[in-house]
Structure 1
Amino acid sequence: MARTEKLQSEQDNWIGCLTYQSTATSKPSAAELRSLAHQARTRNRSVGVTGMLLFEEGRFLQTLEGPPEGVEAIWSSVARDQRHSEIEVLSRHMAPARLFTGWDLFLSSKLSHAPDLADAAAGIPPAMAKHVRKAARHALDGDDIALNAMIAALAEQGWTSAAVLNLLIEPTARALGDAWLADDCSELDLTIALSMLQLAGHAVRYETAPQAIRSSRYSILLATAPGEPHMLGTALLADQFTDAGWEVEMTFPDSEEALLNQLRAQRPDALDIGLSDALFRQQSLIGLRSVIEHSRSVPANHPTVVSVGGRLFAEAAATAATVGADHARTTAAGASVRMAELVRQSRQF
């Protein structure tokens, strides 16, 4: 198949996506919202459409995705619905994949109780707990401006990048995971909050790496574990390794094969595979062990040093030996220096 024909074939499989916001003509009760969502799920399922619906402070935000004709049919009905007004289309485009696979309609509403973060910082020193609770609240509120301001203020007080990562961002991710496990926030709340932490992480400024690391020009492939939707740790590492002078590539594979193909193509000096920084992923250990075992057979000029990370390793519930890695990071802080040491050591044998 010619390249243009292949591209056309791929595009023929793309889906339509539409996102809009509107204002409710009257305040719905929790029961009315549930009824609305039930009706929408039935209607969406009939035409192969998935999506999400948010309701907060009298306003709706909805995303529809699926076959273009299905999206248009739903949109035609939504646009005529008398329960809302001031309808504004925010985005209308084609995409290669769904964001809400398996959700005929995901409903999130601030009519329900707000997440209880009173115990979100349990186990953290009292002096730090208040910062973690505050950061978690900003993240759940989607307030990246407040998060950035908070990190900037801490930096002015003398906090190093290692302290921001190890004492604030990573504990906040775990606190958010605990809130989800306690049913104090939805999966969507958690995903958005982690995205806010990821954005805020870009404001962290790392200490200058030793010249020996910069001159070595080591390369690293930063990857999430196959199928892992949380990418906070991987994003934090990308900024750190780039600032330290490493050649950095990132991948978010949906399968072991996809990750191994990337590894074969790049043949990096080091590979880091991240699980969720918010949740334990014990069920992922078997798959992670398989990926690492097979990665050892990928030919390279030098042995590839393999590091793993995520909450499961940060809290010492699993070790590097558990999955056959060379290193399990308990924090992203200082990872570029530690990995450089491991790469150097691997070349001495």
Structure 2
Amino acid sequence: MSIGLENSVANPVNWTSSISYQSKATARPTAADLRELTWKAKTRNQTLGVTGMLLYDNGRFFQTLEGPPASLQTLWSSISDDRRHSDIEILSEHIIPTRLFGEWDMLSYHGDEQPYTAMLAAKARHELTAQVPDLIDLVLNGDDLGINKRIAALAEDGWDGNDVIKHLIEPTARALGDAWLSDDCTELDLTIGLSMLQLAGHAVRHTPTPAALRNNRYSILLASAPGEAHTLGISLMADLFTDAGWHVDMAFPDSNQALSNQLASQKPDALDIGLSDALPRQHSLANLRETIERSRFAAPDQLTVVSVGGRLFADAAATADNVGADHARKTVTGTTIEIAELIRQKRQEPRSR
């Protein structure tokens, strides 16, 4: 089996290949088996210049690997022949500009005991991440009461809304997209599930924005990419930007012209264009670039900061430079501060004559 990344030579030399797959364990491994598997993977990956993440839970493996295309091809041949698992299914494969797991030759976690690596503690990965499978079950079962109870319990335990969104709601949206891609749910399940996550996101509690950060009164237009049906990200951002004291407008345009018309009329300080937070949408890059080019012509005298978001950027499969934007968000949390700083910087730049 080939992982189909031979065309990577057309990309910048510092990019790497990435592949994610899931499989079924042919026999239930013990904790010792999993530790040995992880140790061997670390040794092998260090030799090949590969980094990644390995999960095991309830008889299933999930792994993401990233590295030089030739190394991943060699590694994939070994993985395909490994008799410890079967029903191997590739979930995604693409070129990435930066590594997601650059500091880990093999980050690992399994659900049969407490994490034996720093997966849920290092780099803001904590116990909320472990609740994603439970939340997925609630979403796919349409259990809105169970979802509300889960979110309320997190608030009672003192979790800030930003953590809940970043480490639970957004990862659950991506997991929901994976479920659809692997035919484990229908498109209707996906749409309803994202709506339920959107409602859950509205219910979380956020730490009040400091008064000093609320005085700028910047304006932002939060827009879905023309034709994009999934609006979880921009909906959550509307709450965050409003709480931070911004003037917020929203748009769900069906064309580039419709978006341009609204920009020309409102002339916001910033524009955020969102793709799906559940599905990769790799094919949308060219269209998104055209949308941004048209947007910049809509109000040429306005120093509008353009931000983009969605799973394509959260997975680091694309960057702001890919589409001509000023900023690409990996998560909605913290975006108010990041875009405010970009607005401040742009206003300080000398205007060309």
Instruction: Provide the C-alpha distance between the structure 2 equivalents of 1:226 and 1:249, rounded to a whole number of angstroms.
Output: 16
- Asked if 2 retains the 8 angstrom alpha-carbon contact of 1:269 and 1:302, the reply is yes
**Higher mean C-alpha deviation, range 284-293 or range 206-215:** 206-215
- RMSD over aligned Cα, in angstroms? 2.1
**1:319 corresponding residue in structure 2:** 319
Unpaired runs of 5+ in structure 1?
1-115
2:277 aligned partner, one-letter code: D
Q: Deviations over 1:150-193 (max 9, x none)?
A: 11211222222221111000000000000001100000110000
**2:131 corresponding residue in structure 1:** 131
Q: Deviations over 1:114-153 (max 9, x none)?
A: xx99869877856445410111111122222221221121
**2:147 corresponding residue in structure 1:** 147
- Asked if 2 retains the 8 angstrom alpha-carbon contact of 1:274 and 1:310, the reply is yes
1:251 correspondence with 2:251: yes
**1:77 corresponding residue in structure 2:** none
Determine helix, strand or coil for the equivalent of 1:223: strand
**1:94 corresponding residue in structure 2:** none
Q: Deviations over 1:29-48 (max 9, x none)?
A: xxxxxxxxxxxxxxxxxxxx
Instruction: Provide the C-alpha distance between the structure 2 equivalents of 1:221 and 1:291, rounded to a whole number of angstroms.
Output: 14
Instruction: Provide the C-alpha distance between the structure 1 equivalents of 2:218 and 2:329, rounded to a whole number of angstroms.
Output: 19
Q: Deviations over 1:58-82 (max 9, x none)?
A: xxxxxxxxxxxxxxxxxxxxxxxxx
What is the deviation of 1:301?
5.6
Instruction: Provide the C-alpha distance between the structure 2 equivalents of 1:172 and 1:267, rounded to a whole number of angstroms.
Output: 34
What is the deviation of 1:206?
2.1
Alignment TM-score, normalising by the size of structure 1: 0.63
Report the CA distance shift for 1:118/1:141 in structure 2 as closer, same or farther (over 3 A): farther
**1:158 corresponding residue in structure 2:** 158
Instruction: Provide the C-alpha distance between the structure 2 equivalents of 1:301 and 1:207, rounded to a whole number of angstroms.
Output: 36
Report the CA distance shift for 1:318/1:226 in structure 2 as closer, same or farther (over 3 A): same
Instruction: Provide the C-alpha distance between the structure 2 equivalents of 1:184 and 1:117, rounded to a whole number of angstroms.
Output: 16
**1:58 corresponding residue in structure 2:** none
Unpaired runs of 5+ in structure 2?
1-56, 65-108, 110-118, 121-126
What is the deviation of 1:335?
1.1
Determine helix, strand or coil for the equivalent of 1:240: helix
Instruction: Provide the C-alpha distance between the structure 2 equivalents of 1:208 and 1:329, rounded to a whole number of angstroms.
Output: 21
1:343 correspondence with 2:340: no
Identical residues among aligned pairs (%) = 61
Aligned residues: 234
**Higher mean C-alpha deviation, range 116-125 or range 189-198:** 116-125
Instruction: Provide the C-alpha distance between the structure 1 equivalents of 2:58 and 2:193, rounded to a whole number of angstroms.
Output: 13
Alignment TM-score, normalising by the size of structure 2: 0.63
Question: Aligned ranges for residues 212-251 of structure 1 at < 5 Å?
Answer: 212-251=212-251
**Higher mean C-alpha deviation, range 277-286 or range 203-212:** 203-212
- Asked if 2 retains the 8 angstrom alpha-carbon contact of 1:195 and 1:232, the reply is yes
Instruction: Provide the C-alpha distance between the structure 2 equivalents of 1:301 and 1:286, rounded to a whole number of angstroms.
Output: 25
What is the deviation of 1:252?
0.8
1:210 aligned partner, one-letter code: P
What is the deviation of 1:293?
1.1
Higher CA-based Rg: 1
